[in-house]
Structure 1
Amino acid sequence: MAAATGERLYWKALIGGSLGFVTFGWDAGVLGGVLLTDEFQSAMGYPDTTTTSMITSVFLLASWLGCMIIAAFGMLLGRRTWILIGCGVQVVGTIISASSYSSGQLIAGRVLIGVGNGFMTSMVPIYVAEMAVVTNRRGQGVNMMIAAASLGTALAYWVDFGMVFAKTQAVWRFPVAFQVFWAFATVAVLYSNPDTPRWFYAKGRTAEADSILERLYGKSITDSKVQQAKLDILASLELERTEAASLRIQDFIWDTSAMQSARRIRTGMILVGMAYLMGIDMIFYYTSTIFEVYIGLKALTASGLAAAATTVLAITNYMGVYWMEKFSRRTWLIVGAVSQTVFMASFTGLLSTPGPATGAAAAAMLFCWIAVFGPTWGPVTYVYSSEIMPLRYRHVGFALSVSCQWVMAFVTVFAGPIAIADPSVGWKTWIWFLVFNVIAIPYVYFFCPETRGRSLEEIDLIFISDSLRGTESAKVLEHTEDRVAVENMAETKDSGSDNAASADEKSSPV
């Protein structure tokens, strides 16, 4: 079979990445619908609230560990390779989890699933973004990853809902075990795909990078459009080599470097971390519990509504994929935060006065909040964070951004149920999430410049200092140089690629 090229190659990357994110969404939702079943409770020895919180939240902490591994060693292997390794680790963890007869065994299995998930969530959006050759599709592609995760959560909840009619251990073991299907499907699609040309250029493997760039564009490397794409990547790498050899800790507080690498990483970390302090993980890990215990609905009704809530998230995520490039990144985030603040405030206020009528209204407000989060803070933070990272530090920056998601999600999923169960706290727990919906508005307005419509390399121009703007590399990214000068630069870069690669390896944090 002929190797995929052009649109087909990109779509394989997009479909494979989407399947990988389905595994993330599946695990985020699969336990939420079975935690209160007798079959699960008996198998785990009727765990208390703290143990149940650990079972659900340890996956998040392990995902953070996976992100840290990528931050340290991500450049040693390709984007695609780490995705495939992540799938393998998840399969092992799923087998252990599905065969569990104690909370300890289940926790051990979920640790492995989490580590694999950390690999995949750190690398899949980068892989998809770097394989996109059409700028106005990049945001849609990364957005589709989050939509796929939401689809995975919805599917898991619907399977859980169907399994409540069973009366055996299959009620929870089958949904947990089925995650291996998505991992194997991801491997099947991505195994024959190459890694990204940007990774190969960054490693100094120019011939391989040229070959993949030709496949992505479906044209020869000598074609003007392909050659310009190559030169943009090389120019971006050259700009990065002009600044300090490594990231400085002080720059994460106040970045004075020429490329603003630390500022860009810090921005991604804050954005993604903030998104997961808004309450989404608390909602989806305990959706059935919220409806049944705190709003007072019957078990079957609560399970059905939980599945419906995850379906709303998936539908609005995919709506966001379609409309992604119609509005700026800042517009999506600011409008989303304002709307979410209104609905979260209403939800919190209604919970403070329990009763059938207020319970139904609270459920409606929760659905509205989910519908807004779906196309805004759910996916756009991933899109923005994957775009603003400099090429050399993209694996570090994005992995650290996603790691903030897992740390914040762990805090909320572990501590949230304990706080809600405390009579002196109860509904007041949701005020914590409301606060972060509010402060997101000024943060985006003052600290997040717009990136829509620019290539990954052109985004460097938003952040670089004035001292770099007059350099030959910056002019290449601005596309103001004449073609002869550009081609001369390309020849210089190619002839020195081995030396450049060596210098890059020395300056890389890994």
Structure 2
Amino acid sequence: MSEPKPQTEGIAKPVAREDGENTQTLHDTLPKLDKYWWQYPSLLKLNLGLSCALLAWVTNGFDGSMLNGLQGLPQWTNYFDNPEEARLGTMSNGFAYGNLISIVFSSWICEKWGRRWPLVGSGVVLIIGTIIQTAATNFVMFVLGRFVVGMGVGVLGVVSLLLLAEVSYPTHRAIITAMTSIFWPFGALVAALVTYGTFKMESTWGWRIPSLLQGAFPIVQIALVFMTPESPRWLIDQNRHEEAEQVLIKYHGFGDPASPLVQYELAEISAAIEMEKINKSTEWKQWFKTRGNFYRLCLLIFLGFVRQLQGNALVSYYLVLVLKSIGIHSAPNMLLINVGLQVWSVITCGAFSVTVEKFGRRNQILLSLATMFIAFLIWTICSAKAEEQGFKNKGLSAAVLLMIFVFQAGSHFYSPAVYTLVMEIPQYSLRSKASMIFSLVQNLAGIFSGYVNPIAMKRIGWKYYIVYVVLLAFDFVVVYFYVPETKNMSLEEVAAIFDSDNALISWRGIGRIGDRERMNNAARYMEGSVKATASKREEEIIEVENVDQK
């Protein structure tokens, strides 16, 4: 393979450190880019290719909003005999059950086949599911279609985060991973517009067209996969070092084999993966073998539950029930509110996806939880007052609508930070398992809320909101004391927070240190790992030579 021509114009070399530290961090090896990223052909091609992973989230967002919209279509409700409570929950959870089953196998699939081919396979499964869902002639067939769609989306959700985190340019990683939160509401907006557009169609195509269009995004996604490089971390794990080096040179080094960034990444990734193999860190029991891994596991489970049990499912899947609870029953009005909410979601997600590097992961999560708590508290009070006054006070209903929009902004402030953090917490050898665990927990929580939400909303109405107000307050306290910051650190450097001699984690609460000290600690940890790996290699060589002499 011929070496790519260096793309050096507009790229300044990294500068030497001035703080007296001899150790080097990823941050110190980054070149200064003097132009916008799209003016560099390699970065433009890389980010365009990575959009195949982002499209997975369009499909996911489309599904939630589509089911919301279908509940407002008389064509759909009449065709399926006005589903309510457990029957409606089953139609919603058909997707979640398929998701759950495929997620169980997603870690093995990603470790065996890499990141690109699982995207292709899951896209094909998703297309098959949309065909069954669109052609549904009864309740069982519709649920089966949603089950197959869920199977495809399950693997997509796991592998897309892995691809984005492991392949993206270092300074783009946080933002491009956070952009998953933009594509979810974009898919939801498209579904809301489509269901509103088909509202006046009297035939069953009024709900079949939205179902069919869910399969359009995987087709584009499959085409874009072939523009995307394979994860260099997976390639190194498979002992395909030359291929990994070429990927890093082409997309991170701008074609320069001597790039300090590429050399640093190669050494860091190779040392980390080799050390994990020496310690046999790829086994499931590793989650329980060290304090750092167990802490990681607890964080993944907690953050997954928070993502689903913060009240967002009420807005995503059962907005119609929420609107009816405050006296809004007009189908056109409900569809318009759904469209407006999705437009708002796209705007807020777009704004908040670029704030992850500015605020940091931990601070952004704390601010989002505080926003959601305040919004839900006011939402609950106004709902209670509206019911008490027989929904005659339109101002109270308007206040609830306003708080739903404020709550959505808080929820979308949470998502980009948590998706980025979840991919940064685990070591490479456990990352696919971590993505699987996070998705699995979300789906278990989603199935629970999928059944409980419609039943609780019908039987106790606004009183059910109190549960989410309490949960959000609890979540804020846990995040404040136990969630660490990973800003400005490489995926391998984050391990220092959990595994180094100066680890910041503690069951009494995380350590509080400055950003520079945190990164220096990570650099010393990585330097030690590289030396330990080299020492282990020498021992193995000496052992082999001794055996040969005997």
After TM superposition, the score normalised by the length of structure 2 is: 0.81
Q: Are residues 345 and 467 of structure 1, via their aligned partners in 2, closer, same or farther at CA, if it must alter by over 3 Å?
A: closer
Could you report, residue by residue, the CA deviation over 1:64-111 in whole angstroms, capped at 9, with x for unpaired residues? 222211134430111121111111110000000001011100100111
- Aligned equivalents of 1:227, 1:97: Cα separation in 2: 49
Could you report, residue by residue, the CA deviation over 1:161-211 in whole angstroms, capped at 9, with x for unpaired residues? 121122221211101100111010111111232211011111222122122
Q: Are residues 195 and 333 of structure 1, via their aligned partners in 2, closer, same or farther at CA, if it must alter by over 3 Å?
A: same
Q: Are residues 266 and 73 of structure 1, via their aligned partners in 2, closer, same or farther at CA, if it must alter by over 3 Å?
A: farther
1:507 counterpart residue number? none
> Is 1:395 aligned to 2:432, yes or no?
yes
1:503 counterpart residue number? none
> Is 1:57 aligned to 2:89, yes or no?
no
* Matched-pair contact (CA < 8 Å) for 2:249–2:256: yes
Q: Are residues 283 and 320 of structure 1, via their aligned partners in 2, closer, same or farther at CA, if it must alter by over 3 Å?
A: same
- How many Å apart are 1:261 and its aligned residue? 2.4
- Aligned equivalents of 2:327, 2:524: Cα separation in 1: 56
1:291 to 320, 323, 348: 323
> Is 1:305 aligned to 2:337, yes or no?
yes
> Is 1:386 aligned to 2:420, yes or no?
no
Could you report, residue by residue, the CA deviation over 1:429-486 in whole angstroms, capped at 9, with x for unpaired residues? 11222222111111111111100100111111111142999xxxx999549869xx98
2:303 to 263, 268, 271: 271
> Is 1:257 aligned to 2:295, yes or no?
no
- How many Å apart are 1:10 and its aligned residue? 2.3
> Is 1:362 aligned to 2:400, yes or no?
yes
Q: Are residues 58 and 302 of structure 1, via their aligned partners in 2, closer, same or farther at CA, if it must alter by over 3 Å?
A: same
> Is 1:421 aligned to 2:458, yes or no?
yes
What amino acid does structure 2 have at the position aligned with 1:274? Answer: V
User: Larger radius of gyration, structure 1 or 2?
Assistant: 2
- How many Å apart are 1:420 and its aligned residue? 1.2
1:330 counterpart residue number? 362
Query: Helix, strand or coil: the match of 1:165?
Result: coil
- How many Å apart are 1:246 and its aligned residue? 5.5
- Aligned equivalents of 1:11, 1:406: Cα separation in 2: 29
2:273 to 219, 237, 240: 237
- How many Å apart are 1:245 and its aligned residue? 5.0
CA RMSD between the two structures: 2.9
Aligned residues: 480
What amino acid does structure 2 have at the position aligned with 1:369? Answer: F
Q: Are residues 154 and 468 of structure 1, via their aligned partners in 2, closer, same or farther at CA, if it must alter by over 3 Å?
A: closer
Q: Are residues 15 and 286 of structure 1, via their aligned partners in 2, closer, same or farther at CA, if it must alter by over 3 Å?
A: same
> Is 1:170 aligned to 2:205, yes or no?
yes
- Aligned equivalents of 2:41, 2:503: Cα separation in 1: 36
Query: Helix, strand or coil: the match of 2:172?
Result: helix
Query: Helix, strand or coil: the match of 1:31?
Result: helix
2:192 counterpart residue number? 157
- How many Å apart are 1:131 and its aligned residue? 1.0
Could you report, residue by residue, the CA deviation over 1:196-251 in whole angstroms, capped at 9, with x for unpaired residues? 101111122212212222222233444332111101101211332354556566x7
Query: Helix, strand or coil: the match of 1:34?
Result: helix
2:236 counterpart residue number? 201
> Is 1:185 aligned to 2:217, yes or no?
no
- Aligned equivalents of 1:6, 1:476: Cα separation in 2: 29
What amino acid does structure 2 have at the position aligned with 1:138? Answer: R
> Is 1:102 aligned to 2:119, yes or no?
no
Q: How does 1:125-164 map to 2 (within 5 A)?
A: 125-134=161-170, 136-164=171-199
- How many Å apart are 1:263 and its aligned residue? 2.1
> Is 1:27 aligned to 2:76, yes or no?
no
1:282 to 307, 314, 317: 314
* Matched-pair contact (CA < 8 Å) for 2:122–2:156: yes
- How many Å apart are 1:309 and its aligned residue? 1.1
Q: Are residues 214 and 427 of structure 1, via their aligned partners in 2, closer, same or farther at CA, if it must alter by over 3 Å?
A: same
Q: Are residues 283 and 480 of structure 1, via their aligned partners in 2, closer, same or farther at CA, if it must alter by over 3 Å?
A: closer
Q: How does 1:483-502 map to 2 (within 5 A)?
A: 489=534
What amino acid does structure 1 have at the position aligned with 2:99? Answer: S
- Aligned equivalents of 1:299, 1:110: Cα separation in 2: 24
1:13 counterpart residue number? 49
- How many Å apart are 1:315 and its aligned residue? 1.0
- Aligned equivalents of 2:524, 2:294: Cα separation in 1: 23
> Is 1:371 aligned to 2:409, yes or no?
yes
Q: Are residues 293 and 99 of structure 1, via their aligned partners in 2, closer, same or farther at CA, if it must alter by over 3 Å?
A: farther
Query: Helix, strand or coil: the match of 1:47?
Result: coil
- How many Å apart are 1:60 and its aligned residue? 1.8
* Matched-pair contact (CA < 8 Å) for 1:475–1:481: no
Identity of aligned residues (%): 21
What amino acid does structure 1 have at the position aligned with 2:290? Answer: S
1:441 counterpart residue number? 476
Could you say which structure has the greater relative contact order, defined with CA pairs below 8 angstroms and 6 or more residues apart? 1
After TM superposition, the score normalised by the length of structure 1 is: 0.87
- Aligned equivalents of 1:491, 1:392: Cα separation in 2: 19
- Aligned equivalents of 1:462, 1:48: Cα separation in 2: 48
Query: Helix, strand or coil: the match of 1:75?
Result: helix
Q: Are residues 288 and 45 of structure 1, via their aligned partners in 2, closer, same or farther at CA, if it must alter by over 3 Å?
A: closer
- Aligned equivalents of 1:394, 1:83: Cα separation in 2: 17
Could you report, residue by residue, the CA deviation over 1:392-417 in whole angstroms, capped at 9, with x for unpaired residues? 01000111111111111121122100
What amino acid does structure 2 have at the position aligned with 1:137? Answer: H
Uncovered stretches (5+) of structure 1, i.e. residues with no partner? 500-510
2:13 counterpart residue number? none
Query: Helix, strand or coil: the match of 2:294?
Result: helix
> Is 1:117 aligned to 2:164, yes or no?
no
* Matched-pair contact (CA < 8 Å) for 1:30–1:160: yes
What amino acid does structure 1 have at the position aligned with 2:405? Answer: F
* Matched-pair contact (CA < 8 Å) for 2:167–2:229: no
Q: Are residues 235 and 168 of structure 1, via their aligned partners in 2, closer, same or farther at CA, if it must alter by over 3 Å?
A: same
- Aligned equivalents of 2:73, 2:522: Cα separation in 1: 61
**Which stretch shifts more, 288-297 or 110-119?**
288-297
* Matched-pair contact (CA < 8 Å) for 2:237–2:273: yes
- Aligned equivalents of 1:479, 1:385: Cα separation in 2: 21
- How many Å apart are 1:388 and its aligned residue? 0.8
